[in-house]
Structure 1
Amino acid sequence: MGKVSSADQTIAAVGEFGLIDRVTEQIGSSEYVLLGPGDDAAHVATADGTFVVSTDILVEGRHFRRDWSSAADVGHKAAAANLSDINAMGGVATALTMAFAAPADLPEQWALEMVAAFEAECATVGAHLVGGDVSSADQVVISVTAFGDAERPVTRAGAQLGDVVAYAGTLGLSAAGYAALSRGFRSPKVAVDAHRRPVPPYAAGPAAAAAGATAMIDVSDGFVADLGHLARASKVAVDVRSEAFVLPEAVETLASALGGLDPLSFVLGGGEDFALVATFPSASSLPEGWTVVGEVREGAGEVTVDGEPYAGTPGHRHFA
């Protein structure tokens, strides 16, 4: 068989990150673009300073279900996902815009409650919704662009040999909540609530930047998958120790209830808790709330657990 041309190649065949790579190849740059595509946010210069900016999208049926989550839940989650990207650069969000599309028969009250909750989540870091757009669609789609300030943006590409790897926030709860809801459960409540309304560690990003973090990313797809992005961007390898992670009680409870699953699989492969993982020059430089779980080694993007390749699912991948 001959080689498949790009005209015939599907997005599923290319993959989420392959598509991003190909799109990035077509994008230009300028003196104002200090950091372009490929990180949690871009870093852009202006005539009187700089800012960081990121866009994220929530699609009904993919990121949330209206029979599982209230309008307020969806609003909080949409804001948290975008505020987290600015947090992962060591910054603080200041303003957000929203493009909202929905079926014509969606109750107006649903949209109003979603936006009110979105604004409430933004206010936790002092940010506000400042504009956007509205359109019709077959399902609810919420696309958000977040702008913020970062005194020292921390990228994915700065990890150095000998750095320690640490995380801040909670890991595994959202994935456990999703597993529970998928099986018709409504408990453990703390896990279900974490899936509906994740609680990112908003103070941890700026604190890590101030403490000298060398690289950082948020955990949106899965700990191993996202740490892999950091390792590849930094051109290093990373090894983490399984016993170093804090296993939430609700994760252990659900894993047992589902037939004795390994609770660590939710922690290492689960996403959407929007925890942060970062590298630091030493354990003594960690701010409060960060837990050391591994170290940076020589390599080319590999992530190992207890010295071995991770055998589980590293995280979610669109189009897979």
Structure 2
Amino acid sequence: MGTIGDVGEFGLIARLTRRLPPGPSVPLGPGDDAAVVAAPDGRVVATTDLLVEGRHFRRDWSGPYDIGRKAAAQNLADVVAMGARPTALLVGFAAPPSTDAEWAERLYDGLADECRAAGASVAGGDVVGAPEITLAVTALGDLGGGAPLTRSGARPGDVVAVRGRLGHAAAGLALLTAGLEGPAELIAAHRRPEPPYAAGGEARAHGATALLDVSDGLVQDLGHIAAASGVRIDIDSAAVPVPDVLGPDGLRHALTGGEDHAFAGSFPPDARLPATWRRIGVVAEGSGVHVDGREPPAGGWDHFRT
């Protein structure tokens, strides 16, 4: 099949767009000067992320399909965290000309399949030559007439609950860094997160006062809700889901590990949450996040922390 340099820019675009089936929210997809995305609500939820080889993924640890799934998931999860329905992705793909064309195709297969899982589709984007592989992904969503779920609505007396896996991706990263090959489910969790995309609708239906995507670590991300809402969040470590597979560092991974793209939010104290949500704490007067009444462990992701 050759490299993307052999195929050329327009040949690559043709190969990639053939792998992107249209979705119901994209009446005009790739192939024109711009795409057309439906916005029935009249407002568009928008978010964007950059993924740089060596910083966000390693090709010796993850194949192109998993990299595509992960790139889409982390953006789609941000849309869901606003209480919106994902509709479309726009993808900028930069790569060296020596990159295998088949590698690029599998990357876009992953992007398309993750979009399908969330009810969205890839609407378009751009390709360009670069010294290293970089992805710029923008996700769009529709609020369906509802108010966005923000980080600023938590109130003292609310309960704090989470939906989805915590600590699995961080544990998988630690295994890969140590040169280990298992447990396999943790390695897989690092390579391909599984955000529970139904969480946004569930949270809205049960009166969520604040919601976010856990991408940089539970404690660090709940700190954003605490700061935006002007409250303190108290976590009960015994209530945090820590399955045995996470090993002896399980609680630390669950509290500080990111990239699982679970969802955490605050709810009225009388909210009757589904069993898929786990209550882990309460909102109180004050500031910051405490775990068992104490300052939390250090951790959480920061792109500029050395």
Q: For the superposition of Structure 1 and Structure 2, which TM-score range results when normalised by the shorter chain?
A: 0.7 to 0.9
Q: 1:219 aligns with which of 211, 214, 217?
A: 214
Residue aligned with 1:246, SS: coil
User: 2:293 matched to 1:307?
Assistant: yes
Counterparts in 2 of 1:60-71, with a 5 A limit? 60-71=53-64
Cα offsets for 1:118-142 (capped at 9, x unmatched):
1011001210001101112221111
Counterparts in 2 of 1:85-96, with a 5 A limit? 85-96=78-89
Q: 1:268 aligns with which of 252, 255, 261?
A: 255
Superposition RMSD in Å = 1.4
Q: What is the aligned partner in structure 1 of residue 17 from structure 2?
A: none
Q: 2:148 aligns with which of 136, 150, 153?
A: 153
Q: 1:117 aligns with which of 104, 110, 130?
A: 110
Cα offsets for 1:82-130 (capped at 9, x unmatched):
1100111111101110011111111111111000111011001210001
Residue aligned with 1:120, SS: helix
CA contact (8 A) 2:91 2:136 kept: yes
Structure 1 residues 78 and 129: CA distance shift in structure 2, 3 A: same
Residue aligned with 2:152, SS: coil
Give, in whole Å, the separation in 2 of the partners of 1:166 and 1:54: 24
Give, in whole Å, the separation in 1 of the partners of 2:42 and 2:198: 23
State the Cα distance separating 1:72 from its structure 2 match: 0.4
Residue aligned with 2:72, SS: helix
Q: What is the aligned partner in structure 2 of residue 126 from structure 1?
A: 119
Which residues of structure 1 form unaligned runs of 5+?
1-45, 256-261
Q: What is the aligned partner in structure 1 of residue 276 from structure 2?
A: 289
Cα offsets for 1:272-314 (capped at 9, x unmatched):
00000000002533234110000001113x100001001x223
User: 2:166 matched to 1:171?
Assistant: yes
CA contact (8 A) 2:207 2:271 kept: no
Q: What is the aligned partner in structure 1 of residue 301 from structure 2?
A: 316
Runs of 4+ in 1 over 6 A off after TM superposition: none
State the Cα distance separating 1:59 from its structure 2 match: 1.1
User: 2:80 matched to 1:84?
Assistant: no
Counterparts in 2 of 1:243-254, with a 5 A limit? 243-252=238-247
Give, in whole Å, the separation in 2 of the partners of 1:251 and 1:270: 11
Give, in whole Å, the separation in 2 of the partners of 1:48 and 1:303: 35
CA contact (8 A) 1:76 1:121 kept: yes
Give, in whole Å, the separation in 1 of the partners of 2:238 and 2:255: 12
Residue aligned with 1:309, SS: coil
Q: Which moved more, 1:164-173 or 1:147-156?
A: 147-156
Letter of the aligned partner of 2:227 in structure 1? R
CA contact (8 A) 1:204 1:289 kept: no
Structure 1 residues 66 and 167: CA distance shift in structure 2, 3 A: same
Q: TM-score scaled to structure 2, two decimals?
A: 0.84
Letter of the aligned partner of 2:304 in structure 1? F
CA contact (8 A) 1:177 1:195 kept: yes
Give, in whole Å, the separation in 1 of the partners of 2:235 and 2:95: 42
Q: What is the aligned partner in structure 1 of residue 6 from structure 2?
A: none
Letter of the aligned partner of 2:285 in structure 1? E
Letter of the aligned partner of 1:105 in structure 2? S
Give, in whole Å, the separation in 2 of the partners of 1:92 and 1:284: 22
Give, in whole Å, the separation in 1 of the partners of 2:292 and 2:86: 36
Structure 1 residues 119 and 48: CA distance shift in structure 2, 3 A: closer
CA contact (8 A) 1:225 1:269 kept: yes
Residue aligned with 2:280, SS: strand
Give, in whole Å, the separation in 2 of the partners of 1:181 and 1:94: 33
Counterparts in 2 of 1:11-160, with a 5 A limit? 49-150=42-143, 151-160=146-155
Identity of aligned residues (%): 49
Give, in whole Å, the separation in 2 of the partners of 1:214 and 1:206: 13
Structure 1 residues 47 and 125: CA distance shift in structure 2, 3 A: closer
Give, in whole Å, the separation in 2 of the partners of 1:213 and 1:67: 40
Which residues of structure 2 form unaligned runs of 5+?
1-38
Q: TM-score scaled to structure 1, two decimals?
A: 0.80
